[in-house]
Structures are given as C-alpha cells and as structure tokens.
Chains A and B, each alone.
Chain A
Amino acid sequence: MPLRVRLTLWYGTALAAILVVFGGVLYAMLAHGLRDQVDRSLDEAASVAVRALEQHRVGPFLPFEDLAVEFPELAVLDKSFQIFSPAGKVTIQSPNLGRLDIPLSRTALEAALSGRATFESARFLDGSSFRLLSVPIILDGALVNIIQVGTSLRSVEEMLHRLLLVLLVSLPAALAVALGGGWFLAGRALRPVEAITQAARRIAAGDLTQRLTVAHSPDEIGRLAATFNNMIARLEASFRQVRQFSADASHELRTPLTVMKGETELALRRARPAEDYKLVMESTLEEIDRMAQIVDELLFLSRADLGEVRIESQPVRLDALVEDIQRQAVVLGQEQEIQVMVGSVALVQVQGDELRLRELLLNLVDNAVKYSRPGGKVEIALARYAGMARLSVTDQGIGISVEAQTRIFDRFYRTDDARAHAKKGTGLGLSICKWIVEAHHGRIEVQSKAGEGSRFTVILPAD
C-alpha cells in the first residue's frame, strides 16, 4: 500500500476515534448536566412547596386555586404539581398537568413512608417523558402529605437529540475534510521522496551527474536529499576515478603495443639487413619488459584495492634496510654517474613487512636516481622523531612543481618533465609506495622545487 494512503488512513482512523470519543463525552456530559439542572429545579420547586405547606399547615383538602392564591410562586412554576395523601391518593393537582394522570409509584410511596424523597423518570404512552420528585411532608413524626413535583423532559430530550444530529452530521464531515487535508499534506510531504525516487532511477540507469534539487531545508527530507547527493557525488568521483584509471591503463598499454606493431610492420615491408631486424627485436624486448612491468604493478594495485595483499607484522630494522638498499642503489647510480649516499641513520625498528618496506625504499631510491642529472647526489637518511621513524630520500634532480606535487601519487600520473627526462617509468611506482606506507599506518610526504630536486619522506610509527 502506498505510504501516502497508509499515512492518510492512520491519520483518519486516529482522528475518527478522537472525534467519536469527543462526541460521546460531549453528549454524556451535556445529558448529565441537563438532568442535573432539571433535578435541581425540581428540588427547588419541591422545597418551596414543602415550605409553603409546612408554614400554612395546609390540610390535605385545600384546592389548588386557593393554594395558588396563597402561594403565587407555585402558580408560576413551570412544573406540574401534585399532592398525595399518605395513602397515595391525589388530593391536589396543578392545572398544567392537564389530562395526564401521574400516579404515585410504589417505590416513591415506600420511600415517602420512611421519610425519603425520590427522583424518578417516567415515560407515558404518548412518548413524553417526565422527571418527578416526590417529597414527604412529615409533621410531628407522622406522614401528612406527599408532594410530587414534575417537569417534562421534552426540551432536554430535544436538545440532546439536536446535539446528536449535529454530531452525526458534523463529525463525518469534519473527518472527510481532515482526510482530504491529510491526503494533500501527505502528498506534499512525500513529493520530495518521489523526486528522490525518480532521481535514483535515473542514477541507477547510469547518469551519475543527476542531483536532487530538493530545497535546502533542515528537515528530514532535506537531510535525506543532502545525504543522497553527497553519496552520489562520492560515487561519481569514484566512478570517474575508475574510468580515468582504465583509460590511463589502456593508454599506457597501447603505447608499447603501438611501438611493437609499428616497428615490426615497418621491418616486414621489405627485405632488410639482419642488423635492422636485430634492432627491432631489441626494441620489442624493451617494450615487452615495459608492458610486463605495467601489468605486474597494475595487478599488485588491483589486488591491494581488493584487500588481497597481506602485510606481515614483524619487527624490521630500518637502519639495516637502508644500508642494504644503498649497496644496491650504488650500482643503479653508477651508469649515470649519480652518487647514492647514506646520511645520518638512527637505530629504528618498526613493525611491518620487510619485503614491502624494501620495495618501498627501493622504489623511492630508484626514482631519485632516475630523475637525477648526471653527477647528482642521492641521499638516504633515517631519523627517529616523536616516536616516529622518518625515512627520507633526497635528490638534486628535476624536481616537481607545486601543482604536480598533489598528483604524483595518482595512478599513471607523470609530469611532462618526468616523461621527457626518463622514458622508462610506468607512473605507478609512487602509487604503490603510498599504498605500502598507508598499509603500515604511516604517511608519505614530498618536498620539492622544480629544477632543484625533491625529498620524499616516509613517516612510520616506530617501536
């Protein structure tokens, strides 16, 4: 069932219950109040009559006219008036009773004999209801008369009847109006939800540029829309990243393919000296190595993304690692007359995966050598500061511009200078470094000035 219908139904049911209870209570209270009023007025009339009879010691045989002359207040009473003898016989009857004959009931008589007044309701054959009060008059301990005061309940009943009619007509009408309003309001409140559904459907169809245009209100819907927009923005960003990544990956793989295809086809166009074929094959081999490296690194990163790369947690002596890598790097640098040195090295141990840390440091040193100029120096240093190991690799190479510094850890990102300076390089090395550092709960920082050199600093929690 749609939420709108359900909301309206809930609302309607609750409102109907409230209205019914309200109507019932109103009716009961009014009925009770009116009867009370009737009873009080009967009581007053009776007490006037009793007082009069007691004062004048009226005997049982006084005609009403005389009585009326004697007590004008009795005549103006809108009540019927009867006086019964102790035997229950009517002795005096007020004229407004007309032809109605109201006998004294047994209960009233018995109560009167024991000196108690009685309220009663009576309904006659013609449908009119009467409220009666029978009061005994006792003189010197003996029952002299019983005065009965009565009044028609018609006006009370009419009023109650009218109230009932009003309630029966107005309550459903009010309910209908309220239901309509509720339906409208629920629709209004739910309209943004419908908008969200539509947008979500378009987004599900692949259009991640969609945003919800719900007004920025601090209510639930506003918050939902904001949250939703936020989520789509992040989805869009990560989708873009993935798309960029695969586009970059295919670009990086296409380049060696282009070289291999082009050079091979060119070589095959006509017969050539053996030396030419040899050159083509050497070049092809280089490209194959390049592709193999890209594929390896891509595989590592995708496994890392999926959480499939396990990182050991063993004590690793970083100072020993630095010495070790430096020995390897000296060879790397020799070809281009780049000196790889070790600066100050503190004794630092960290918890981690020695193989990965070795790969990290080797990558950084390899980069430093690759982007150095002949005759340059590369320095590896290790310090301990505030409980952290600070491992740095400093070079005097081509450097990285400030705007590129934020992007060098992005996959496949290489600056134009880097591409021009070193043809080899996949643009994935620093991404891998960053991943290894973060897997060790550390961070990697770069300080660099274009043309003057760079310093990469790895900060890891030390033991």
Chain B
Amino acid sequence: MRILVVEDEAKVASFIRRALEEESYAVDVCADGARGLDLARAGCYDLVILDLMLPGMPGLEVLKALRKEQVAAPVLILTARSELDQKVKGLDAGADDYLTKPFAIEELLARVRVLLRRGSGEAAGVLQVDDLVLNPATREVTRGGKRIELTAKEYALLEYLMRNAGRVLTRPMIAEHVWNQDFDTFTNVIDVYVNYLRNKIDRGQERKLLQTVRGSGYTLKAE
C-alpha cells in the first residue's frame, strides 16, 4: 500500500511518514502543492494525505485538480482549521475524510485503514481469501485459524496481494505499492519475498493460494 503525504511542515510530514512506515506502508512525502499534484497524478497511490495549507498550490486546488482528472485514490485531508466550512469544502471537493490538527497518531492510522479498506470492498475490517484471514487493525494473519507470524515486509506484501485478491499483480506494481524505493531493476527481491510468504502461508496446505502467473507476476486467489 503506497501512500503520498503532501505536507509542508517538515516535522509533521516526518512523523506521519515514520508512523506509516512502521505500519509497513510505502510512503512518499512532498512539501509543495503543485509537486504533490504531479506525484499523485503520475504515481499510483492507494491513498493521499493532503494538508490544506500548502505553498505552491493550496490543498483544496490540488484535490479539485485530482478529482477532475479522475484520480480515484482516496484522499484524507489534514487541516489546522477546525471551522466547519473548511471540512465541508474539502469533502465537497472530493476528499474522503479529514483530520484536524493536532490529531492522534492512532486515529490517523485507523482512518488510513478505513480508507484503504473502502477501496478493496472489504466489509468487516478483515481481509479474507479462502481460510486465510488478515486483520489490518491488529496486523494479525491466520490460516485455518492458526496464527502466522510475518515480518513487516511480508505483511505489507500479503496485505497488498489480499486487497487485490484475484487480480494479477506485476512485479513493478508490487514494487511500487510495497517498497519505498524503485525496485524495477532488481525485481528478484520481490520473488524472494514472495517465496518467504508462500512458505509461511501455503506450505503444508492442500489449497495453494499464492500463485505465479508465468510471464506476468503473481496472484492470490481461492481456487
């Protein structure tokens, strides 16, 4: 899950980035409105966290431009102003949610989970493929009721695969949504992680969920 944070206060951007990274999200930070718009337009972000007071281009304008161009990524706006009309304007302009500064980290993370869940059509707050269950809130993964321990990267990879269950995900897509850096040149890192993950979720199971699509990438689906 790749998240873009557009925030000009360096310290605020920095702790948001660290918090999100601790939750295994891939994060990009940008301090300027116009540049933020370019990034959001070009990259395929699963979520944009947008401050309203920005140099270069006001957050509201960025938001309107994004929606005009049919960029569908959910947008969470951050505002230092708690006035109602700011929130209303933001929501009307196409924001999916808002947070007023100062906010609690846990609340930010919860809202991020909700917005990502909305995109994947998951209902109860947990992701499920066959008997494989992932709970983004607790970061617990079970298969057939048995708990599976995953590293942060493995977890991020699994979450991305489960959110896109049934779809074929190419290596560049996986790189973009799970890793912070551009892994285009050495996609075998992805293969290595897919193998780790496969060992943990499919080993010894009758039904194999994580499958390789030759020449394309990977997919996670119930047979």
Contact = CB atoms under 8 A, between A and B. Distances in A.
Interface in A360-402: none
The number of chain A residues touching the other chain, given as a range, is: 20 to 34
A155 interface: no
A263 B12 CA distance: 8
Interface stretch (B96-104, B147-155, B159-167, B184-192): B96-104
Contacts of A261: 102-104
Interface in A278-296: 283, 287
Interface stretch (A30-38, A132-140, A252-260): A252-260
A262 B55 contact: no
Interface stretch (A68-76, A106-114, A298-306, A416-424): A416-424
Contact of A419 (B11, B16, B55): B55
Given A254-B80, A269-B105, A259 B9 contact: yes
B206 interface: no
Contacts, number: 62
Nearest to A415: B55
B223 interface: no
Interface in B1-19: 8-12, 15-16, 18-19
B105 A266 contact: yes
A29 interface: no
A262 B102 contact: yes
B56 A416 contact: yes
B55 A258 contact: no
A408 to B, nearest CB: 16
B81 A255 contact: no
Interface in A388-447: 416-417, 419-420, 423
A262 B105 contact: yes
A264 to B, nearest CB: 9
Contacts of B83: 247
Contacts of A254: 80, 101-102
B6 to A, nearest CB: 14
- Interface centre among B9, B10, B83, B104, by most chain A C-beta atoms within 10 angstroms, is B9
Interface residues of B, number: 23
Interface in B48-69: 53, 55-56
Contacts of A287: 11
Contacts of A260: 102
Q: Chain A contact residues: over half helix, strand or loop, or mixed?
A: helix
A257 B56 CA distance: 24
Interface in A21-80: none
A262 B8 contact: no
Interface in A238-271: 247, 250-251, 254-255, 257-263, 265-266, 269-270
Contacts of B56: 416
B106 A265 contact: yes
Nearest to B101: A258
Nearest to B18: A266
Given A265-B105, A419-B55, A420-B55, A255 B80 contact: yes
B15 A259 contact: yes
B11 A283 contact: yes
A114 to B, nearest CB: 110
Interface in B89-127: 101-106
A258 B102 contact: yes
A147 B15 CA distance: 135
A269 B12 CA distance: 17
A251 B80 contact: yes
A257 B19 contact: no
A266 to B, nearest CB: 5
Contacts of A417: 55
A262 B22 CA distance: 14
Contacts of A259: 9, 11-12, 15
B133 to A, nearest CB: 24
A262 B9 CA distance: 12
Contacts of B11: 259, 263, 283, 287
Contacts of B31: 420
Contacts of B19: 262, 266, 269
A255 B101 contact: yes
A258 B102 CA distance: 4
B197 to A, nearest CB: 24
Nearest to A268: B105
Contacts of A250: 80-81
Contact of B80 (A258, A263, A270): A258
A424 to B, nearest CB: 12
Name, among B18, B22, B106, the residue most crowded by chain A CB atoms within 10 Å (CB to CB). B18
Contacts of A263: 11, 15
B80 A262 contact: no
A263 B18 CA distance: 9
A257 B105 contact: no
Interface string B137-178: 000000000000000000000000000000000000000000
Contacts of A420: 8, 31, 55
A250 B80 CA distance: 8
A269 B22 contact: yes
A257 B101 CA distance: 8
A262 B81 contact: no
A-B pairs with lowest CB-CB distance, top 4 = A416-B55, A258-B102, A258-B101, A265-B105
26 contacts: A247-B81, A247-B83, A250-B80, A251-B80, A254-B102, A255-B12, A255-B80, A255-B101, A258-B101, A258-B103, A259-B15, A261-B102, A261-B103, A262-B15, A262-B19, A262-B103, A262-B105, A263-B11, A265-B104, A265-B105, A266-B18, A269-B105, A287-B11, A416-B55, A419-B55, A423-B10
Given A269-B22, A283-B11, A423-B10, 15 more contacts: A250-B81, A251-B53, A251-B80, A254-B101, A258-B103, A259-B11, A261-B104, A262-B102, A262-B105, A263-B11, A263-B15, A266-B22, A269-B19, A420-B8, A420-B55
Interface of A: 247, 250-251, 254-255, 257-263, 265-266, 269-270, 283, 287, 416-417, 419-420, 423
